[in-house]
């Protein structure tokens, strides 16, 4: 039982100190959750980002990007053979787990190689972009290209899907990062589809050129 003014003063001071600690904790949590404090970059891709066929597990362009952006957390959630549908199945959990500030979508190549309908490709890509944006991430879409196995019309319309959806949904388009190296000696593996270790720095630079302005803007540079 409290019997003196001193007891009330002590209790009041303790309550005040507790409130200040709670306020400080809330402020710290808010700062940690703010876009400025979030430096996570999530890459969701297929074999081109998973480092397929490379002798060293850390020689892929995503690993090189992580080393170039040492102040950022780069998560490589790429799986060889993955498709847009596979990315849609995995992305909600990845967004919840990593809460990225930036999302790079490198998917669709396997869909094109399998001749999936352009309407389905467009729909699934738009859903991936929408999921990322709804989670508060700034989305970058990597343009995909395929050999003309299904004819010139399909091939051209397939590539156009990526720029069209990026434009419609206010996402950043990363031009096809194999365009300048696909015909260079030593840059492609024997299958003619997957790049060699020599090509990985060029691929990283292509992505980094598009990513850097977004990082600078987030920092307020």
- Residues that are catalytic: 47, 191, 194
Category of 53 on φ-ψ map: left (φ > 0), alpha (ψ -120 to 50) or beta: left
Within the chain, strands assigned E span 40-45, 73-76, 102-106, 138-142, 172-174
Q: How far apart are CA 215 and CA 221, in angstroms?
A: 9
Q: How far apart are CA 197 and CA 2, in angstroms?
A: 75
Q: How far apart are CA 215 and CA 68, in angstroms?
A: 13
Q: How far apart are CA 183 and CA 178, in angstroms?
A: 9
Q: Which of 121, 144, 120 is nearest to 46 (CA)?
A: 144
Contact 197, 186 (CB under 8 A): no
Record the tokens describing residue 192, joined without a space.
Answer: 């003619």
Q: How far is CA 211 from the centre of its chain?
A: 10
Q: Which of 43, 47, 45 is nearest to 194 (CA)?
A: 47
């Amino acid at each position: 039982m409290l019997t003196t003014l001193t007891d009330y003063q002590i209790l009041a001071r303790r309550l005040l100190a507790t409130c200040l600690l709670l306020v400080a904790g809330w402020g710290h949590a808010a700062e940690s959750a703010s876009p400025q404090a979030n430096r996570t970059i999530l890459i969701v891709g297929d074999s081109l980002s998973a480092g397929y066929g490379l002798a060293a597990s850390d020689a892929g362009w995503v690993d090189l990007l992580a080393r170039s952006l040492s102040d950022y957390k780069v998560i490589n959630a790429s799986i060889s053979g993955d498709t847009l549908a596979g990315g849609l199945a995995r992305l909600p959990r990845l967004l919840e787990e990593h809460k990225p500030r930036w999302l790079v979508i490198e998917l669709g190549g396997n869909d094109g190689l399998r001749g999936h309908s352009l309407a389905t490709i467009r729909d699934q890509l738009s859903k991936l972009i929408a999921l990322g944006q709804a989670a508060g991430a700034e989305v970058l879409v990597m343009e995909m290209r395929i050999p003309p196995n299904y004819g010139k019309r399909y091939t051209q319309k397939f590539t156009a899907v990526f720029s069209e959806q990026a434009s419609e949904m206010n996402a950043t388009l990363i031009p096809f990062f194999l365009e300048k190296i696909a015909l260079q000696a030593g840059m492609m593996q024997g299958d003619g589809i997957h790049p060699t270790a020599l090509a990985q720095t060029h691929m990283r630079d292509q992505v980094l050129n598009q990513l850097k302005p977004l990082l600078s803007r987030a920092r307020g540079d």
